[in-house]
Structure formats: structure tokens, C-alpha cells
A and B are shown apart, each in its own frame.
Chain A
Amino acid sequence: MTIDSILTEWTFRLESGYPTCDADYDVLHDVIMEMTDLSETDANRIVTQARGLNEDEEELELNLYQDLNDTLKLYSINYIDFDLLIKAIISNDRSKELIELIKNPLNKSLERGAYPIRGIEEILYDLIMKTVKITYGDPSELWLAIVFDGRVESTTETEESSIVSDVEIDGESVSLKNYTNIKFNFGTLPPIGRKLLYQFLNFAELLSGKQVNASNTRDSINEILDFLDHEEYEKQIRQFLRSSENTDIVIIQKLRNRIEQFYTLDDNLDKLIESFCKIIDNTLKEKIMKVSWWGMIIKGTKVLYLETSKNIYNQIKCRNDRLSPAIATFANNQLFIYGSQLGLNITAKKD
């Protein structure tokens, strides 16, 4: 197949033997698709070139680059490489709608619930995910910022652990997670809570003789709490605290101080197990409430879930002196949460 044979077939099909109107270039598209194995995108690119639009393409790219920066409000951030995205948008069949979406974002309002990503929004999402890379972040943040007319927060210059929010929408901070899995990693636990948590677990292991597994799963922690949750056991701890009050044995003094530390966390605490839940709840609160909203995209179904931090916290805080079923693990100092327990209905809505 040569270019000549394509041109011959094209001009043969045209009434005047040469292109006179825009529709004539659609004929070229048909000829390319019929006579070659080229993809739709490549065929479109060739037709665009034949239309003589390639001279304007550079200007189009520049404008789109500016539009993206304006929409995402990336005034001080210059590290996101949009080149591939811009090219992908321009060569897409629905480029007009995509550019319109970027120029005039939908300005959706933040509502608790599910937003299936469909239609032109899905095309934009796919293009962004394929072409953009962000260090310490996920490209889907760009998509969220465009669709909700938000502002992408700066992240790359800083440590990952200090990231507070990914996107700001109407003055509200949103942290976005994009996962295939049903377990969401909500990120690193705050340092003080983390320290207290592990101190407690070490000491609880010592008292109970049981061991928390390496991943710090909810079940293994709850197992220790089950052990500690006995009136008799609590009585013994208090007896120990009383009897060791005036001891000279340093090892016992140290153990006593460690136990007492957990009772002084809060005035109302009269059980060790309550103090543990207090530590957990404070740690989770500090982590979750750093932003106003959490967004979770499940890649398989392409559904974005938005939930307020307050509601997320209510779902994951301790219940009945045990870790909430929504907590999966604290593996590697990270907080993992089951999406299904947040009522995200992850399996619903196929795509």
C-alpha cells in the first residue's frame, strides 16, 4: 500500500477530483481506514495534517497548556509534564469537548456519595492516567481538579508524609486515593500517635504473652484487647500499681511508669483498654481530619466516592473497646481501611 494509491482512491471518490470542502476529508478518513491497518487515532492525525491544521497545532498546544494551568491553578507549580496529555487530547476524536471541559470546568459540588466516571469525563480520566506522572501523588488528582474546578496542591517539593491535601475545591481540602484494591491506604500515621500505639502494643504483648502479627492487623490487635478486657486482669494491674508504689526495684518502677502513662491519657479512663482506644481514636482523628474530604476512586469500576472526614472518622473509630471493622491493618505505620466498611459498595456498578 503506497501513499499514491491512497491519494488516487481518495481523489477518485471526490466529485471534483480534489478536496473542496470539509466533508471531502472524511472521505480520506474512510479510504485510510479501508485500505490500511492504521488505528482510528492515526487516521485522524493524517486527516488533520491533510486538512492543513498542523500549522495551527502548535498554537493549539500552547493554548491548551495555558488552559490546563489556568484551570488547575498551577501558578507556582511547574513540575507536571503535560506534553503527552496535550498531544493526546488534541489527537482525540472528542478533542473539542475535552478542551471545552478543561476551559470551562464542570464546577461540580462536593456531595457525599458516588460519582460514576462516564462519558467525556471518563475519556479525560483515561488520557490523564495514561500520560501524566506525578511524584508522590496520583494523576487522578488532576482529573478531580478539572471536573470540580479545584486547585491541585503542591506536593513534589516536599516529603510524602507531609502531604495534607491533594486538591482544594471551594476552599475545602480533599485527599484523593485511587486504588484497584478494596483496602485503601490512607497514608502514614501521625508520629506521636504512632509512637504511643507501638509502646502500648509492646507493653500489651509483654503483659498478655501474646504477639501482634507483623502486619498489625485488626484481628491480631483485637485478640490482645480481648485478653486485656477482663475485670480480674484490670484488678491485678491496679494491685500491681498500688503495691509497686514505693518499690526500689528500678525494673518494676519502669514497668509501673509505663502502665501509669496510659491511665493518665485522659481523666475519665479507668480501664487500660479504654486508654488504648483513646490512643487509636486520637491518632485516627489527627490523620483523617487533616483534610475536610476524602475521595476514593476504585479503578475497576471507575467510580469516585466522596465522603466527609467527619463521617470517615465516625466509621473507623473504635467501637465497643475494639478496633472498628473498617480498620484493616497498620502495616508499615500506614493506615489501611476497608472501603466496603465505609459503605463504598465497591463491587456495585460494573464497567
Chain B
Amino acid sequence: MIVDSIEDLDALFGYMQDRTCLVVPVLTDHQSHVSQNKISCIYIYTEDDVERLVPINHTEQLQGFSEHVHRFLELESVFVHDKKAWLQLGGNDSVYDLKTLWWCTYGETYDDSLYLQPAHHFYQRRHHQLAHVNAIIPIMQHAAMCQKIRKYAWPMIRNVKLTESYKTFNSLYPKVFAAIESAGLQVNERFPQPVAVHNNQVYTNYNYHTSTGRPSNAYRGFNFAAMNKEDGTRSAFCSRFEQGALVEMDFDAYHVRLIAKLIGYKLPEGSVHEYFGRFYFSTDTLTTEQYEQSKQITFRLLYGGIDREFLAIPFFKQVNDFIWNLWNQWKKQGYIRTAIDRRTMTREQFPDMTANKLFNYYLQSLETEFSVRKLDQVLNLLSSSETCMILYTYDSVLFDVPLSEAKHILPQIQDIMQSGNFPVKCKVGDIYSKMRDITL
């Protein structure tokens, strides 16, 4: 089972050609971020029950094949255990993500911890301060873990039809979030979890296999998706460039505009809250207080249910119709499909659903599906520049920008983000806690 010679390795590559294969890389360090990791061994399972474990960096290896890792990373059309991690290891994009397939097939988030063997827990607990501990865990224990992964994955791989929805998701999400994760965030000494800092950088970890599709983002106990604006947490984040800055782009009234697009309602140019405020307060000009109230009323109506008296406002009448149509679909079919990715949300996944909850979940999935496409376009733009996208938080995106690029790259980013009538507000700052508004 363990490949010990180059002849066996060549034979394996020959055998894998034109066969359905599962590839599971095991990293050397279970604690470090994948972008800072190395491969300890690679498990391969192919049709006809052929399985091999190829040592790359392991203390038990007779021969390591680190100089052949690229051959694995270049593989195409294979099923990989975690495509987001695979891409950060330098892997080919034309592969299928097993975790996404699991999520689409069974409606459950894939849980890595279920596959670890008792030996993994023992070594990882006992040597928690040792880096690359997986390199000393008996290689047959890695094999046993991978066999368990195979046992759950293979029947699904062989039986599930790869839908267009899966293929789209597979081609977009791992790529986008791998790119953001691998960029890392520069931090100073104020970062509250020093253990997570590596060369003055910390790394995010997006999990997009959530029930609504909205990604969570936490790594080593730090929740990047819910950073407090007031408690100084943000003061730890700074630019990696000597002459550079953090730039944040926030979508203005993102959900309202997404809903408008969804129901085909043309919102006027300018502030959405001013527009609705005129309906709420029957006035042409809003006071500052009325503007704030308008914001609150809109959010209450959208997330808490539309009161009858607001149905006179055409936008809310249309939203209300949409909510009830969606709810009827849910009741009739027992599921709905998300707006763009056409992913199913089923009654089994959400047993205690109500019409408003359903709409909120639908909206959250729409927000992610729409944003990911924009992020992809921006990342394409940034592919040959030093500017990097370092954090995505639902309606805002954070960039680390060198001064030399700021002038020409920022307007281009803004153009992409704003396309389709989604205005963004820009902020700039040396550290993330002190950002000030700017106009590009």
C-alpha cells in the first residue's frame, strides 16, 4: 500500500490516468494554516479498489517523494478532499471538491474531526507544542484515517450526479476563498492570539459549507467575521507595505439593493434610506434623525416582517409578494433553490422554518452568491498586482494596497464592485481601527 520506489510511483500515475480517483493530502502540521504547511503524505484511491499512500515528508518513509509533489498537484479531474486547501498547496483548479459534494449531497457540513484516529488525538495532544507532528504519527494511522474518509466518500463519488449547481460552486468558491486566505493579514503586537501569528501575519479560514451558504471565518479561536469595532481588536491589523494602507469597500444598503434586483424594482440613484424615508415620513427632505429612523424601519421590515400599513409602498408590496411566493414554494415542494447557484435548501435542513426566516436565509445566500462573483472578478484584476484582498465580511471587503498601486487599482476595484447599481463607500487607514472615508 505504501509507495516505496519511483517505479511504483510511476506505475501509480499510469494507473490513475482516465480513472476516477480520490486524492487526500495529509499535512505535516495540523495547527498551522494550510498556506504555511507542507504535505506529509498523499493517499490515493482509484477505481478497482487500488489504494496507495505516498510518503512526502514523514519520519517512517524509506523514500520520500517531495520532488514529485508537483505531479500530484497537476492532476486534473480527480476528487480532492478539500479543494480550498488543495489550491493553497499549489494544486490544479480543475479538480472536484469532496467537501462541497458532501455538503450538496447530504446537506450537512463535512466534519474533518470524525476521521481522525485515536493515535492522531494522542500525538497531537501529547506534542501540542511540536510543529509538524503529523510527520511522526505512524504512517499506517494516516492510512487508516484516509481509508475512513474513502469509506464515506467513495460511494457518494460513484453515485452522485455532478449537477451544474455543484460544478459552478466548485469552480468558484474554493478558488475565491483560497486566494483571500492565502494573502493573510498583517498584524502588530496587539493581536490577541499570538499563537496564530506567523511572520507577522495571521490567516483566515472561511467555511462556506454552512446552512445558508454565508461563510463563517474563524481560525485558532479568532472570529474574523465578528470583529468588534469598539474594543480595539481591529487596531491589530495594519498594512504589510512600508508605504501602503488598508482600504475597505462597503456596499451601501447591500441587502435592499439585492432585494430590488431580485424583484425587478428599479431603485433611484442616491441614498436608499432617503428614498424610503420620504415614504415613511411623507416629506421631501429628511432630518438626520429621520434618516437614521428610516434605516431602522427598513431593516425591521425586511428582517422582521412587513407590517400591513407599509404595503402601500410599492417596493414593500413587491417584497411581501415575493416572501409569500417563496413560502408557498417551500410548503408545496418542501424545498427552494437559491437565487444564483440554484442550491437546494430543504425542509430537513431547516425544520422550524417560517416565511420570514426563509426569506432571510434566502437573502443571506443571495448575498454570498452575488458577492463571490464580484470577488472573483476583483481577484482576476489583482492577479498581476501587489494589492491583495485580505478579508471579506458579507457587505465589506478589505484590501491591503501599496501606495504605488493605489491610484490606478482602487478605481478599477470600485468599478467592479459598483457595477449593477451597487454603490460602495471607501475607507482608508494605516490600521483597521482608524479608517476614514475617502472618495475615489
Contacts and interface: CB of A to CB of B under 8 A. Distances in A.
Given A94-B334, A97-B334, A109-B159, A119 B152 contact: no
B114 A111 contact: no
Contacts of B121: none
A32 to B, nearest CB: 12
B148 A345 contact: yes
A123 B159 CA distance: 19
Contacts of B334: 93-94, 97
**Residues of A in contact with B, size category:** 20 to 34
A246 B125 CA distance: 67
Given A26-B332, A94-B334, A348-B114, A111 B107 contact: no
A250 B331 CA distance: 83
B152 A114 contact: yes
B155 interface: yes
Contact of B328 (A26, A96, A113, A118): A26
Contacts of A242: none
Contacts of B151: 112-114, 305, 343, 345
B347 to A, nearest CB: 7
B348 A119 contact: yes
Interface in B337-387: 346-348
B147 interface: yes
A345 B333 CA distance: 34
Contacts of B347: 93-94
B106 interface: yes
A3 interface: no
B105 interface: yes
Contact of B107 (A26, A112, A119, A349): A119
A231 B191 CA distance: 69
Interface in A93-136: 93-94, 96-97, 106, 108-109, 111-116, 118-119, 122-123
A118 B108 contact: yes
Interface string A42-77: 000000000000000000000000000000000000
Contact of B152 (A97, A109, A122, A349): A349
**Residues of B in contact with A, size category:** 20 to 34
A348 B156 CA distance: 16
B230 interface: no
Contacts of B346: 119
Contact of A29 (B105, B153, B156, B331): B331
B155 A114 contact: yes
Given A111-B159, A112-B154, A349-B114, A23 B328 contact: yes
A337 interface: no
Nearest to B158: A111
A26 B331 contact: yes
Interface string A242-260: 0000000000000000000
A301 to B, nearest CB: 11
B109 to A, nearest CB: 11
B242 interface: no
B49 interface: yes
A115 B155 contact: yes
B99 interface: no
B175 interface: no
**Residue among A29, A109, A114, A122 with the highest chain B CB neighbour number at 10 A:** A114
A167 interface: no
A114 B151 CA distance: 6
A23 B325 CA distance: 9
Nearest to A110: B155
B348 A113 contact: no
A306 interface: yes
Contact of B154 (A113, A348, A349): A113
B327 to A, nearest CB: 9
Nearest to A93: B334
A69 to B, nearest CB: 25
B152 A108 contact: no
B150 interface: yes
Contacts of B105: 118
A118 B159 contact: no
Interface string B139-173: 00000000110111111101100000000000000
A343 B147 contact: yes
Nearest to B344: A119
B155 A306 contact: yes
Contacts of A106: 159
B154 A118 contact: no
A166 to B, nearest CB: 19
Interface string A130-165: 000000000000000000000000000000000000
Contact of B49 (A29, A93, A112, A116): A112
B345 to A, nearest CB: 12
**Residue among A23, A26, A106 with the highest chain B CB neighbour number at 10 A:** A26
B80 to A, nearest CB: 18
Nearest to A305: B151
Given A26-B332, A343-B147, A118 B107 contact: yes
Contacts of B49: 112
Nearest to A345: B148
B332 A113 contact: no
Contacts of A114: 151-152, 155
A235 to B, nearest CB: 38
A97 B159 CA distance: 18
A348 to B, nearest CB: 5
A119 B106 contact: yes
Nearest to A95: B334
Interface string A166-202: 0000000000000000000000000000000000000
A15 to B, nearest CB: 13
Contacts of A119: 106-107, 346, 348
Contacts of A122: 348
B107 A113 contact: no
A119 B152 CA distance: 17
B159 A113 contact: no
Nearest to A307: B151
A169 to B, nearest CB: 12
Contact of B331 (A93, A113, A349): A93
Interface of B: 49, 105-108, 111, 114-115, 147-148, 150-156, 158-159, 328, 331-334, 346-348
Give 9 nearest A-B pairs by CB, closest first.
A113-B151, A111-B155, A94-B334, A118-B106, A108-B159, A113-B155, A348-B114, A114-B152, A113-B154
9 contacts: A94-B334, A111-B155, A112-B151, A115-B155, A119-B346, A123-B348, A306-B155, A349-B108, A349-B114
Interface of A: 23, 26, 29, 93-94, 96-97, 106, 108-109, 111-116, 118-119, 122-123, 305-306, 343, 345, 348-349
Given A93-B332, A112-B151, A343-B151, 16 more contacts: A26-B331, A93-B347, A94-B333, A112-B49, A112-B154, A112-B155, A114-B152, A115-B159, A116-B106, A116-B108, A118-B105, A118-B106, A119-B107, A305-B151, A348-B114, A349-B108
